[in-house]
A = this chain, B = another copy of it.
Amino acid sequence: MKFETLATDGAARAGTLQLRDAKILTPIFMPVGTQATVKAISQDDLEEIGYRLILGNTYHLYLRPGAETLRQAGGIHKFMSWPHAVLTDSGGYQAFSLSKNVKLKDHGVIFRSHLDGSEHIFSPESTISIERDIGADIIMPIDDCAPYPADDKRLKESLARTHRWLAECKKYWLREPRHQHLFGIAQGGVNPLLRADSAKACADLDLPGYAIGGLSVGEPLEYYVPSLAAAIEHLPKEKPRYVMGVGTIPELLNGVALGVDMFDCVLPTRNARNGQVFTSVGKVNLRNLKHAQSDSPIDPECSCKVCKKYSLGYIRHLHKQNEILGLMLSTYHNLYFMHGFMRQMRHAIQAQNFEQFRTHWLRLFAPV
């Protein structure tokens, strides 16, 4: 893996991340393909838009189709016919939030499947082993992501466990690294001092890249920037930085402004399925009655194949009738939008124009 910064504008940076399966331009947004599919879009369409790195979820893939099936298929790339790069999170977060009777122990997370109630354990050793079977290019360690709100005692406990597990994950990963790259995950809730401590502890382990986890878990918006800034200050400049599970257009803009390189979020795909699309003038609610007879595209400024072909009125009709094509067209549009948005962001950094870009888009996508 090779990460290079090609341009900076303030703390914002544009670069490249070379993996075995793809050369990635950063900052990048990664679509979420939880169950080895990005919902309502084909691999061909993801590729056509320009995506080269998508997420898979270890918790879901471990339960279905199972690590053994993925190993036998030759890994997730072959299983889902995706020749480019994949990142898997560790599944610890989902084991905690989705499963039943969770027990957080010092050696791992014991949980019961949300599908059939069977008992499982995610430990540093088992998650690295599962992620090896899945075979993603970037793999995430199991961590203890404290919920919001959490007091300092709980956060300190989360850090101790997260850092100890990370060191163990590193040990198991290094036994057979193959083409895979382990990132660290810094926690610390909304306490900047703990965020700094956690970033330092992760950086000390000298890993290929670093993530900031535990944001966008219900905390007020105003905690995002200070928490992120406190962590980033202690992460090495020469390694990629990834904010997990983020985000909204303002979060992406403010993250990049602080020097973040990678983001993932279900927002563009989930919102698309709920009838909300992103455009050059802000969000549009497809189900709004005022669009019923519109023969304009979703966004006249957009050059995606959906906007070239279909009217807002037609896509509204599909959503109102719960037609699958409505989900397909909106998802394609939103992912095309996000890819273009990140490309424009890179160009703005290269043109030393990022602050103006950020101000423009913050205004259009201001939280209501």
Contact = CB atoms under 8 A, between A and B. Distances in A.
Interface stretch (A17-25, A38-46, A341-349): A38-46
Interface stretch (A72-80, A100-108, A242-250, A257-265): A72-80
A73 B37 contact: no
Nearest to A320: B64
A65 interface: yes
A223 interface: no
Contact of A325 (B37, B69, B326): B37
A328 interface: yes
A270 to B, nearest CB: 12
A95 interface: no
A79 B314 contact: yes
Contacts of A321: 35, 64
A358 B313 CA distance: 44
A327 B292 CA distance: 27
A324 interface: yes
Give the dominant DSSP class at A's interface.
Answer: helix
Contact of A293 (B64, B73, B318, B329): B73
Contacts of A35: 317-318, 321, 323
B36 A81 contact: no
Contact of A64 (B41, B42, B64, B317): B317
A295 interface: yes
Contacts of A326: 37
A72 B40 CA distance: 30
Contacts of A323: 35, 37, 39
Contacts of A79: 311, 313-314, 317
A248 to B, nearest CB: 23
A43 B314 contact: no
Contact of A81 (B42, B64, B293, B309): B309
Given A40-B328, A44-B305, A80-B314, 16 more contacts: A35-B321, A37-B325, A39-B323, A39-B325, A42-B329, A44-B309, A64-B320, A64-B321, A65-B292, A65-B313, A65-B317, A69-B317, A78-B295, A81-B314, A324-B324, A324-B327
Please give me the 9 A-B residue pairs with the lowest Cβ-Cβ distance, nearest first. A40-B324, A37-B325, A65-B317, A35-B321, A37-B323, A81-B309, A81-B310, A72-B293, A69-B293
11 contacts: A37-B323, A40-B328, A44-B305, A64-B317, A64-B321, A73-B295, A73-B311, A73-B314, A79-B311, A79-B314, A328-B328
